[in-house]
Amino acid sequence: MNQRRDRCHPLADEPAYLRNLRALTRADPTFEHLEALEKELYASASDRATAVMFGSFVEVALERLLSSKMRQLNSKDRKRVFEYEGALGTFASKTVVAYALQLLGPVTRSDLDLVRFLRNEFAHSRMPFNFQTLEVAEVCKHLKYPELAGSFIPHGYLNRVSDESLKTAVDRNSPKTRFIIACHNLSYRMIYATHGAQAGDTVFEEPVLP
């Protein structure tokens, strides 16, 4: 068994302290988790950290949306579905199955694919680059959620950027702003679709996942 599989498939006798941390980090994402993540990212995170962490949060929200439409699975079967080498073990497989099940439409699918691509490139490249890099900006230009009715720039982002960065932050043509709009609204709408509306939540006039 290779090292990657060793990391992704816990042994039956895995220590409780490892199981406890795994349970904590893989808990169902909530609106409160999204807000906490954004506070962390908007305060001081690099572009690479923003892309990787936000992209991973979007994937987890998608996994929980899929899980909410399935029968209750025991831990062994859940691992067979969602863990590495499982039927839905990749971001790409989760996206295409959610689309096939009509849990999301073509706009959401397109942006999920681009978020996944950006997350992976930021995570695995050894080259230094950021959202202003021409090739990255060109990908962000094709995100659809920034133009989608009801999508918005997170207030937490605007409240935490410096005064000199505010002009760029409010510009929906800014690559980083486009990525943040897409990730925030994708996450928000998938959590909304999974758990339903709560008091004070934004209510969308259009379908939750177009």
Is residue 15 a part of any domain in this protein?
Answer: no
Is residue 9 a part of any domain in this protein?
Answer: no
CB neighbour class for 176 (10 Å; exposed up to 12, middle 13-18, buried from 19): buried
Is residue 98 a part of any domain in this protein?
Answer: yes
Is residue 14 a part of any domain in this protein?
Answer: no
Domain containing residue 181: CATH number: 1.20.120.330
Q: For 40-87, write each residue's pLDDT tens digit.
A: 777 667 999 999 999 999 998 998 898 888 778 777 767 776 676 766
Is residue 202 a part of any domain in this protein?
Answer: no
Is residue 74 a part of any domain in this protein?
Answer: yes
Is residue 182 a part of any domain in this protein?
Answer: yes
Q: For 195-208, write each residue's pLDDT tens digit.
A: 765 544 444 444 45
Range of the domain at 174: 29-194
Q: For 6-36, write each residue's pLDDT tens digit.
A: 344 454 567 888 777 777 666 677 777 777 7
Total domains in the chain come to 1
Could you give the angle at which helices 175-195 and 31-44 cross, rounded to 10 degrees? 160
Is residue 136 a part of any domain in this protein?
Answer: yes
